[in-house]
Amino acid sequence: MTPFTLSRRAALALGAAPLVLPGLARAQAGDPVRLGVILSATGGLAAFVPPIRAGITLAVEEINAAGGVLGGRRIQVVEADDQTNPQAGVQVMTRLVQAENVAAIIGPMASGITIAAANAVSIPAGVPIVSPSATAPAVSQLNDNDTVFRTAVPDGLQGQVLARITREAGIERVAIMAVNNDYGRGLTGSFTAAFQGRGGTVTGSQNFEENRPSYRAELQTLAGRGNPQALLLIGYPASGGNTILRNSIENSFFPRFIMTDGMRDQTVVDQVGARQLEGMFGTGPGTAAAPERRAAYEAAYRRANPNLDPGAAFVAQAYDAAYVIALAIEAGRSADRAAIRQNLRTVANAPGEAVGPGEFARARQLLGAGTKVNYEGASGPIEFNATGDAQGRVEHWAVRNGRVTSVAQLAE
Amino acid sequence: MENALLYAVTLLTLAGIYAALTLGLNLQWGLTGLMNFGALGFVAVGAYTSALLTATPAPGAAHLVGPGWPWWAAWPLAAVAGALLALPIGAISLRLRADYLAIATIGIAEIVRLFVRNEDWLTGGPLGVSGIPRPFEGLGQPWGPVAYLLLVAAVVALLYAMAEATAKSPFGRTLRAIRDDEEAAKAVGRNPASFRLQAFVLGAACMGLAGAMLAHFFKFMGPDALDPITATFLVWVMLIAGGSGNNRGAILGAVAIWAIWAATDWIAGQLPGELATRAAYLRLFLIGLALNLILLYRPQGLIGERLPGAR
C-alpha cells in the first residue's frame, strides 16, 4: 500500500472541482468584440498553423492599431484547437459560440471539420464562419442559411488548373497517389475528370493511409501499370508525402512528380533532396491580388514575423478573413451575428470604393461617411458568390534551383 | 446567460454519452475482468448503424441511403449491432487469457476503422455521413438541446438500473467469481466461457447505443471522428478514475474526467497564441498524469467497488 491515500470525500471533492471551472467562462457583455478562431493546432494539419495564426494576429493588430471597430472597441481573438478531429471541432465550436459568445469565427481549417461543426453548431446558432482553407466542394452544398463563407478557392478549380498545366508540360499518362480523406478523394475526382477531358489518361489511382513506414508496394503497382510518365501526389509532407517521394526516388518508380497545395512547402525540397525534385511542379492556393496590395501585406507580415513566410499556404486567406469580418462589423455598425452575416458580402464584393490590406482606418472613414467599400485582399479580390465562396486564383509553382517558386496565377 | 446554460447542457450531454460507454466497459472490465481495448469499434458500429438508418441524404453523399427511420427505431438496432459484432469476436477470443483479448480487440477496432474509411458504398468513406437528425431539434435553441440532454440522461438512468440489477443478481455474482477466481467458479459448476461471452456482448451493446447517441448529437459521423484517444483511452481513464466495478463510480468518472477534458480546453483558450498551441499538447499529458496519481493514491477510484452485502 502507498503510505498516503486520499479519503473518499477528498477524492470526490477533487473530482468535482473541474465541474465548476467552465462556469467562469460566462459571457462578458461589454467592450472588446470577440472573434473566434478555430485552428488545427495539433494533429495532422498542425504544421500549417503557425504562419496562419500569425496572419490572423497581424490583421487584428492592424485593425486595433487603427482604432478598432464600432467607435473604439478592440477585436479580441479567442483561439481554439480542433486537434484535426471533427468531434473535437464540434466541441470547441460549441464552446466559442455558447460560452465565449464570439461574434464570428475564422476556421475551422479542414473541410470535414468545417462541415461537421457548421452543421452541429454554427448554422443552428446563426454564427457566421469564414474558413481560410476548407477547399472541398461539399462545403458549398451546406444548407447554411448563408452563414458559411470561405476565402479559400474550392478544389474543383485546383483540379482543372492542375490538369491544364500537366497537359501543357507534355504529360499524357499520370498515376495518382492520394491521401485517403475528403481532400485527397475530392481533388483526385476533379483532376481526373479535367485531365481526361483534355485527352490525358490516368493509369492508376491509389488512396493511401497516412503515417505508414513504407509505400513501396502501392508505388510499385502504380508504376507497373500503363507506363505512367509522372506521379501526381496529393497529400501532406509529414504524414506520408515525403516518404512516398523518397520511396519513388530510391526505386526509380517515376521520372517526374506533380504535387498540390498540401505538399507546397519548402521543407519537402529540403528534406527529400533538391537535386531529385528539381523541375517538379504543382498547384496551390493562389493570389489574384493587385501587386501593390500583395506587397503591402507581405511587407507588414515580414516586419511582424521575420521567420515566417507570408506566401505559405492559406496565410493570406486567413488574413483576409479577419479583415472582411471586421469591415462587416463596421459596415453594419453592430457586432451582432446576423448583422455581420448580412454585411460580409456588402464589404467584400464590388461595387464600392476599393480598400486593401493595412487600410482599415481609411475603410472606416469611408464607411462612416456612408460610402460603400469593396475589400480587395492579400489573396485576391475576395468576391463572395451565392454559396459564400471567394472567387480566387490557383497558383502554378515549381521547384527551381532548390526553391519552391511561384510561376503563375491562373483562373482556369 | 442562456448561452452559458447551453454550454453546460452540451458538456453534460457528452458526459452522459461517455457515462453510457463507461457503464458498458464496467460490465466487461469492472465486473468480469475482460480487457477490452476496442471500445472504438463497437462505438463505430453503433454510430454508423443508427446514422445510416436515420440520415436524410445530403446532396453529393456517397453513402448508402437508408430508410430514414426515426431515432427511436434506430437506437435499439445500434445496440443490437454492437452486440452482433461482439458475438463472433467473443466466441473466438474470450477463451484467450486477458492480455490476448486486449490485443484482439485493438485489432478489431482497427479493422472497423479502416472498413468505414474505405467502403464508400456503405459509409461514404472519408466524407462520412451527414444529415443525421438530432432528436427534439424542432424545439428550437434553448429547449431542443435540453430535451436531448434529458433523453441521454434517461438512457443512462435505464442502463444504470439494468447494470445495478445485473451486478446484484446471481449472474453478476458469478461474473465476479469468474473474475476473482476462475478455478473456484469452475469447481462449483459454472462455465466461465459462456458467462464471459454474455458480459462481453452486453457491454458491447451499451457501447453501440452510446455510439448512436454520439452520432445523433454531432449530426455527423466520419472516420476522422473515430479517434482511439477519445473513444477508447478516455473511457478507460474514466472507469479507473471513477472506480471500476462500481456503476455509480463509472458515471461519476465519466462526468469528472469529461469536465477536466473540457476545462483544459477552456484554460488553453485563455492563454495567448503560441502558449495555447503548447497547452493543447499538455492536455493528454494532464489526463495521463491524473490517471497515474489516481492509481498511486486512490487505486480503487473515486468510489471503489462495494460488494453486495458488504458495508
Q: pLDDT tens, B199-255?
A: 999 999 999 999 999 999 988 888 877 878 788 888 999 999 898 889 999 999 999
Q: Which of A282, A314, A340 is the last residue of a domain?
A: A282
Closest CA to A261 of A316, A193, A312, A190: A312
> What H or E segment, with its residue span, contains residue A407?
strand A403-410
Residue A170 CB partners (closer than 8 Å, separation 6+): none
Asked whether residue A257 carries a pLDDT value surpassing 90, the answer given is: yes
**Residue the block writes with cell 459521423:** B221
Flag whether residue A34 sits within 8 Å of chain B, measured between CB atoms: no
Among A7-11, A19-23, B305-309, which range has the highest average pLDDT?
A: B305-309
Q: Which CATH number characterizes residue A141's domain?
A: 3.40.50.2300
pLDDT by residue (tens digit) across A348-385?
998 899 999 999 999 999 999 989 999 998 988 888 98
pLDDT by residue (tens digit) across A30-69?
579 999 999 988 877 887 888 999 999 999 999 999 999 9
Residues in chain B, overall count: 311
Q: What one-character DSSP code corresponds to residue B134?
A: P
Q: Which of residues 75-94 of A touch B (CB under 8 A)?
A: 77-81, 83-88, 90-92, 94
Q: Please tell me the predicted confidence (pLDDT) of residue B311.
A: 46
The answer to whether B47 and B214 are in contact (CB under 8 A) is yes
- Whether A148 and A297 map to the same domain: the answer is yes
Min Cα–Cα distance to chain A from B86, Å: 25
Q: Do the domain assignments include residue A131?
A: yes
Interface predicted TM-score (ipTM)? 0.73
The answer to whether A212 and A240 are in contact (CB under 8 A) is yes
Q: If you measure CA to CA, which chain A residue comes closest to B11? A: A91
Q: Which residue of A12, A19, A239 is the best one to mutate when testing the B interface, meaning the one whose CB has the most B CBs within 10 A?
A: A19
Min Cα–Cα distance to chain B from A86, Å: 5
- Whether A371 and A266 map to the same domain: the answer is no
Closest CA to A262 of A289, A292, A290, A285: A285
The answer to whether A276 and A247 are in contact (CB under 8 A) is no
- Whether A124 and A192 map to the same domain: the answer is no
Region of A68 (left: φ > 0; alpha: ψ -120 to 50; beta: rest) is left
For residues B112-126, average pLDDT? 85
- Whether A138 and A193 map to the same domain: the answer is no
Q: Do the domain assignments include residue A277?
A: yes
- Whether A171 and A259 map to the same domain: the answer is yes
> What H or E segment, with its residue span, contains residue A281?
strand A281-285
C-alpha cell at A73: 472597441
Smallest Cβ–Cβ distance between B298 and the set A11, A141, A184 belongs to A11
Task: Tell me the CB-side half-sphere exposure of residue B86, using CA atoms within 13 A.
Answer: 32
Asked whether residue A28 carries a pLDDT value surpassing 60, the answer given is: no
CB contact under 8 A, A99 and B266: yes
Q: Do the domain assignments include residue A202?
A: yes
Which residues form the domain of A162?
A: 156-282
Q: Please tell me the predicted confidence (pLDDT) of residue A267.
A: 83
The answer to whether A111 and A183 are in contact (CB under 8 A) is yes
B167 vs B308: CA distance, rounded Å: 8
Closest CA to B3 of A27, A31, A370, A127: A27
Q: Which of A220, A253, A282 is the last residue of a domain?
A: A282
In this prediction, residue A23 has a pLDDT band, given cuts at 50, 70 and 90, of: very low
For residues A268-286, average pLDDT? 88
**Residue the block writes with cell 461574434:** A103
Q: Which of A235, A262, A282 is the last residue of a domain?
A: A282
Domain count, chain A: 2
Q: Over the range B285-308, which residues count as b (16 or more CB within 10 Å of their CB) and which as e?
A: eebeebbeebeeebebbbbbbeee
CA gyration radius, chain B: 20
Q: Do the domain assignments include residue A272?
A: yes
Asked whether residue B1 carries a pLDDT value surpassing 70, the answer given is: no
DSSP, collapsed to helix, strand or coil, labels residue A79 as strand
Asked whether residue B134 carries a pLDDT value surpassing 70, the answer given is: yes
Among A77-81, A193-197, A289-293, which range has the highest average pLDDT?
A: A193-197
Q: Please tell me the predicted confidence (pLDDT) of residue A279.
A: 87
In this prediction, residue A25 has a pLDDT band, given cuts at 50, 70 and 90, of: very low
**Residue the block writes with cell 482497427:** B110
In this prediction, residue A26 has a pLDDT band, given cuts at 50, 70 and 90, of: very low
DSSP, collapsed to helix, strand or coil, labels residue B190 as coil
Listed in sequence order, the DSSP H helices in A21-110 are 49-65, 86-94
B212 vs B208: CA distance, rounded Å: 6
- Whether A224 and A274 map to the same domain: the answer is yes
- Whether A135 and A201 map to the same domain: the answer is no
Q: Do the domain assignments include residue A15?
A: no
pLDDT by residue (tens digit) across A143-175?
888 999 999 888 888 899 999 999 999 999 999
- Whether A266 and A319 map to the same domain: the answer is no
- Whether A299 and A337 map to the same domain: the answer is yes
Q: Which residue of B6, B7, B139, B235 is the best one to mutate when testing the A interface, meaning the one whose CB has the most A CBs within 10 A?
A: B7
For residues B165-176, average pLDDT? 90
Could you count the other beta carbons within 10 Å of the beta carbon of residue A222? 23
Q: Please tell me the predicted confidence (pLDDT) of residue A344.
A: 94
Q: If you measure CA to CA, which chain B residue comes closest to A54? A: B273
- Whether A120 and A217 map to the same domain: the answer is no
pTM, full prediction: 0.80
- Whether A266 and A297 map to the same domain: the answer is no
The answer to whether B301 and B240 are in contact (CB under 8 A) is yes
Smallest Cβ–Cβ distance between A41 and the set B58, B128, B276 belongs to B276
Q: Indicate the domain borders of chain B.
A: 2-227
Chain B residues touching A81 at Cβ < 8 A = 265, 268, 276-277, 280
- Whether A267 and A313 map to the same domain: the answer is no
Q: State whether the Cα torsion A29-A31-A35-A41 is positive or negative.
A: negative
A19 vs B257: CA distance, rounded Å: 9
